[in-house]
Structure 1
Amino acid sequence: MWKWISDTVGPPLGFATTDGMLTKEQVLDFCRLNLAALEKPEVKQRIAEHFKAGEQAAEMTTKVQEEIFSSMGIEPKFGISCLGRVGSVFRNDQEVMMNFMELIGREELACDEAEKPEEFRKKMELMQKMHEQQVAMEEHLKGKSPEERLAFIQNMQRQMQQSKTQTGVGGNNVVSPQEQLHFFQQQYAQSGPSQPSRAASSSDRAQNTSNVVQRR
């Protein structure tokens, strides 16, 4: 697993960063390298083998993180500790937070792929359907006012919460991607192509439906 890292950024030159907090550039570089690593077949295989050996897949993703930090000249344990502070230190930096949340979601998927391959496949299918549905909804909402878009979202949230209450899970205020997809499909079927105001725009929900992935 080390080879792809050394091929990308070269061998470690010693730990230049051992205390304080990672800079914005270091966080962004780390996210870029980690995302690239999780797409490598050899890394996916290592995570899967680690899980089959009776260990947690997350332990191997942490190992990947440590090796990346080492290759960047950052003491691994220090780098890992900094990750827990990214959300507070860079909470107002959209670029950092978007990249960091993307990485978190991709790591969750990597663990799911190793631990629950069938659930992972279904999740990928659902995400693809959600993406297609969002594109369709955005097309239908072209030319609609912000008020009309907001009204649809509020209607969605209200109906979803009513459904949760009726099924005995009303205490959960999170509308899952599965529930959103089902609701959008119902609205689309009711409105048809000629009534776009019944649809929802992906731009209104992109952060909630695409970047956050629940494992369990």
Structure 2
Amino acid sequence: MTSVTQSTGMLTREQLFHLFDRFIFLTSKPDVKKRVAEAVQDKQEAVAVTTAIQEEIFLEMGVDPRFGISCLGKLSTVYENDLDLVIQFYKFLSKEEVACDEAELGEEEFAEKMLNQQKLQEQQLEMLKYMRKFHLEDQSAILEKLHQQIRNGTYESGTSMLSAEQIDEIVPRKASPQYTPRFSYLSDQHRTTNKKNLNT
């Protein structure tokens, strides 16, 4: 076993995909679920255990754990044009959230959360299908907005979603600073017309 670990540069796509796959595999195993649950019973933070699991995977890969974790924080910026990788990153974050919830919530509350999670994932899939209709440059702008929203929302449920209307706002505004949302403009015009009619 080599003692040399990677601690500079940036993780490659292949390394990141390996991390995501390995983490999802491990957190699905009963013994790992038990490890997280027991940590919560001992008043530890579930996320501290899932982070420790990620660090263990990095060590297996020959990557310095602190460096690996820091790379995850830069992923959306460094790989902003790699839609497939960004999608897998959000799936990875979602899996970590599920692993923590399963350990922290009661059985009934967790089942309800999973149902909501499934609905959210279906909505995310529709969002991603819709995003693919745009040029790569516009996709990058959408992903950056999504990343900001998730970061500001501290990964709360619903922050990893943008509606079609929100996406439509991001793209035209980026393309043209003069952009005015059509429906808002028409509503103002309609109100003005109604006022004139009432005054005559």
Q: TM-score range by the shorter chain?
A: 0.5 to 0.7
**What's the CA shift for 1:127?**
4.3
Match of 2:49 in 1: 60
CA distance in structure 1 between the partners assigned to 2:3 and 2:18 by the alignment:
17
**What's the CA shift for 1:30?**
0.8
What per-residue deviation string (whole Å, max 9, x for no partner) do you get for residues 66-98 of structure 1? 000000010111111111011111111012111
**What's the CA shift for 1:119?**
2.1
**Within-5 A mapping of 1:55-94:** 55-94=44-83
Please say which structure displays the higher CA radius of gyration: 2
What TM-score do the two structures reach when normalised by structure 2?
0.57
- 8 Å contact from structure 1 (residues 47, 114) kept in 2: yes
Corresponding position: 1:37 with 2:12: no
Match of 2:112 in 1: 122
Larger RCO (CA under 8 A, 6+ residues apart): 1
**What's the CA shift for 1:14?**
3.0
**What's the CA shift for 1:45?**
0.6
- 8 Å contact from structure 1 (residues 33, 68) kept in 2: yes
Q: CA separation of 1:15/1:95 partners in 2, compared to 1, >3 Å: closer, same or farther?
A: farther
CA distance in structure 2 between the partners assigned to 1:23 and 1:125 by the alignment:
34
Corresponding position: 1:27 with 2:21: no
**Within-5 A mapping of 1:186-205:** none
Amino acid at match of 2:34: Q
Amino acid at match of 1:63: A
Structure 2, unaligned stretches of length 5 or more? 131-156, 159-163, 165-200
**Within-5 A mapping of 1:153-172:** none
Q: What percentage of residue pairs aligned between the two structures are identical?
A: 41
CA distance in structure 1 between the partners assigned to 2:84 and 2:18 by the alignment:
12
- 8 Å contact from structure 1 (residues 91, 97) kept in 2: yes
RMSD: 3.0
**Within-5 A mapping of 1:104-115:** 104-115=93-104
What TM-score do the two structures reach when normalised by structure 1?
0.53
